[in-house]
């Protein structure tokens, strides 16, 4: 047989991948991300009880102010010799639109007292497990925005805070392991 002048390509070595030397580094990086997400989840979720507590304080302040205003309307009714409902009816029937508007302000104040009192009672009576759902159900956006604007994080020292911290760790790990790792695995398989 005659020799050919074509240069022969070396056969690739099977079983050795370029990423094999990087595996320990990638594994360490994955463990670091895993632990960092645990800490982030614990810190983030442990703030929920503190936010609820600060929201409840602010809610109580709004309720006290609305009750004070309603009591002033009741006193005005007593001084006029009628009850609050009669005063609201009389004021609402006035020809002057500014005076008539005062009747609707009294009605709105009474409705606000009822609404805030129900929300406060529900939040105070809720268990640690049902509180987030009760909070969302009875949420007052204005009070929540005010609470968030003045919110100061705190270190949880209660069993409830520790439970929320544990839930945060589990949630972040689930997102990482189920979501991110599966997506990266899919990309890696497609790349190969």
Residue 188 has pLDDT above 60, yes or no: yes
Are the C-beta atoms of 154 and 50 separated by less than 8 Å? yes
Residue 1 has pLDDT above 70, yes or no: no
Percent of the chain residues past pLDDT 70, beyond the cut: 80
pTM value > 0.85:
no
Segment 20-79, tens digit of pLDDT: 554 554 555 567 777 787 788 888 888 888 899 999 999 999 999 999 999 999 999 999
Which of 59-73, 117-131, 145-159, 164-178 has the lowest average pLDDT? 164-178
159 Cβ contact list (under 8 Å, min separation 6): 128
Given this model, what pLDDT does residue 24 score? Answer: 53
Given this model, what pLDDT does residue 170 score? Answer: 85
Given this model, what pLDDT does residue 2 score? Answer: 52
Residue 138 has pLDDT above 80, yes or no: yes
Given this model, what pLDDT does residue 128 score? Answer: 83
Given this model, what pLDDT does residue 168 score? Answer: 87
Burial 99-127 (b: 16+ CB within 10 A, else e): eeebbeebbebbebbeebeebbeebeebe
Residue 4 has pLDDT above 60, yes or no: no
Residue position matching structure tokens 């800490």: 39
Could you tell me which residue, 18 or 139, shows the higher pLDDT? 139
Ranked by mean pLDDT, the top range of 15-24, 98-107, 114-123 is: 114-123
- Other CB atoms within 10 A of residue 87 CB: 21
Q: What is the mean pLDDT of the chain?
A: 83
With helix as H, strand as E and coil as C, how does the chain read? CCCCCCCCCCCCCCCCCCCHHHHHHHHHHHHHHHHHHHHHHHHHHCHHHHHHHHHHHHHHHHHHHHHHHHHHHHHHHHHHCCCHHHHHHHHHCCCCHHHHHHHHHHHHHHHHHHHHHHHHHHHHHCCCCCHHHHHHHCCCHHHHHHHHHHCCCCCCCCHHHHHHHHHHHHHHHHHHHHHHHHHHHHHHHHHC
Mean pLDDT, range 120-131, rounded to an integer: 92
């Amino acid at each position: 047989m005659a020799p050919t002048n074509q240069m022969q390509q070396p056969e690739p070595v099977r079983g050795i991948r370029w990423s094999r030397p990087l595996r320990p580094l990638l594994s360490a990086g994955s463990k670091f991300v895993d632990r960092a997400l645990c800490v982030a989840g614990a810190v983030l979720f442990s703030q929920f009880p503190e936010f609820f507590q600060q929201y409840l304080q602010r809610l109580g302040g709004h309720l006290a102010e609305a009750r004070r205003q309603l009591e002033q309307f009741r006193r005005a009714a007593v001084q006029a010799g009628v009850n609050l409902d009669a005063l609201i009816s009389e004021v609402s029937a006035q020809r002057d639109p500014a005076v008539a508007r005062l009747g609707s302000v009294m009605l709105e104040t009474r409705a606000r007292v009822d609404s805030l009192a129900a929300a406060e009672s529900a939040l105070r009576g809720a268990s640690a497990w049902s509180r987030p759902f009760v909070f969302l159900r009875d949420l007052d956006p204005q009070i929540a925005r005010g609470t968030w604007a003045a919110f100061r994080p705190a270190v949880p020292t209660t069993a409830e805070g520790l439970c929320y911290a544990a839930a945060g760790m589990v949630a972040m790990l689930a997102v990482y392991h189920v979501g991110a790792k599966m997506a990266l695995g899919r990309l890696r398989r497609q790349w190969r």
